[in-house]
Amino acid sequence: MPDQFPHGVRGTALWSQVDALLDRRAQEVGQAALDVLDVGGGSGVFAVPLAMRGHRVTVVDPSPNALATLKQRAAEAHVTSRVEAVQGDAASLAMVVEVDSADVMLCHGVLEVVDDPQAAVAGIVACLRPAALASIVAAQRNAAAIAKAVGGHLEEARHLLEDPDGRWGRSDPLPRRFSEVGLTDLLTNSGLVVDAVYGVRIFTDLVPGPLVDDATDVRALAALEATAGRMPELRALAGALHVTAIRE
C-alpha cells in the first residue's frame, strides 16, 4: 500500500470527507482543537488519529474489549490525555456525556447494529452543541443485494430489497441496512439537517483485489472511488452511505 494511503484504499475517501468536516468546524469556532465525540468508536480507528491531530476525542462504546484496545492504541500513540474511553450506549448518551458538549460527532458503522436507531440518533443529537457537525456512516442495502446476486444467492438478494430492514434472511447477522431515504429521514426526524451524502466503497468493493496489485493501481482505485463517491447516480451502489449533517 503506498504511503499516502495510511487508512487503506477503502478508507481514504471517507477520511478526506471527515478531515474536511473537522477543518470546516475548526474555522467556524475559530479553534484548531475540537471536542469530538465518536459514538460506537470501538477500538479507536478514527479516535486515535484524530487525537494525534490535537483534537480531544471522547469514544462511547458498550464494548469493554473495544475500549481496552482503544486505551492501548492511545497509549502507544502518546495521546492518552486527549482520548477519553467511556462505556455507554448511544440511546442513553446523555447519562455518560455532557449534553451540548461536542463540536463534531462521528457515528460510523453503528446505526445498523443498535437496537433502536431512532433512540440512538436522538441520544446523540442531545450531546451536540448547536450548529455542531455530524458524520454518520451506515450500511446500505443495495450493495448487499448486488453482492448476493453476483454470488448466485438470488433469493437472498431479492429478500434484501423487499425486507423493511434490508436483511437477506433470518440468519443475517446485521439487524438492518438502510436506503438513502430511510437514513436521511432518520436523521432529519431527530433535528439534524443533512448537508451532504457520499457513497462509501463503490468500486473498492467491486474491483477484485488481485486486479489492484501495484501502487499505480491503488492510486487509480482511490481516485476513482473519490470521484464516484461524490456522484449521486453512483452512490446507490455503495456498500455504505456517509451523511454529513448539522445540528439545528
Ligand X SMILES: C[S@@+](CC[C@H](N)C(=O)[O-])C[C@H]1O[C@@H](n2cnc3c(N)ncnc32)[C@H](O)[C@@H]1O
Distance CA 148, CA 162 (A): 14
Q: Which is nearer to ligand X, 45 or 77 (CB)?
A: 45
CA 150: distance to chain centroid? 26
Q: At what angle do helices 141-150 and 154-162 cross, to 10 degrees?
A: 170
Joined together, the cell numbers standing for residue 74 give 492511545
Nearest of 55, 37, 20, 193 to residue 101 by alpha carbon: 37
Question: Is 126 within 8 Å of 99 (Cβ atoms)?
Answer: yes
Q: Under the rule (CB under 6 A), what is the footprint of ligand X?
A: 39-42, 45, 61-63, 66, 89-90, 108-110, 113-114
Q: What is the DSSP letter of 80?
A: G
Q: Which is nearer to ligand X, 109 or 191 (CB)?
A: 109
Nearest of 11, 4, 36, 6 to residue 21 by alpha carbon: 36
3-state secondary structure at position 5: coil
In the complex, least distance from residue 91 CB atom to ligand X, rounded to whole angstroms: 6
Q: Which is nearer to ligand X, 94 or 113 (CB)?
A: 113
Identity of the residue numbered 18: V
The DSSP code sequence of 133-144 is EEEEEEEBHHHH
In the complex, least distance from residue 211 CB atom to ligand X, rounded to whole angstroms: 26
Q: Which is nearer to ligand X, 174 or 220 (CB)?
A: 174
In the complex, least distance from residue 114 CB atom to ligand X, rounded to whole angstroms: 4
Cβ neighbours around 101 below 10 Å, total: 16
What stretch of H or E contains 195?
strand 192-200
Strand pairing class (240-247; 192-200): antiparallel
In the complex, least distance from residue 218 CB atom to ligand X, rounded to whole angstroms: 21
Q: Which is nearer to ligand X, 114 or 144 (CB)?
A: 114
In the complex, least distance from residue 23 CB atom to ligand X, rounded to whole angstroms: 20
In the complex, least distance from residue 115 CB atom to ligand X, rounded to whole angstroms: 7
Q: Which is nearer to ligand X, 10 or 230 (CB)?
A: 10
Q: Which is nearer to ligand X, 113 or 161 (CB)?
A: 113
In the complex, least distance from residue 233 CB atom to ligand X, rounded to whole angstroms: 26
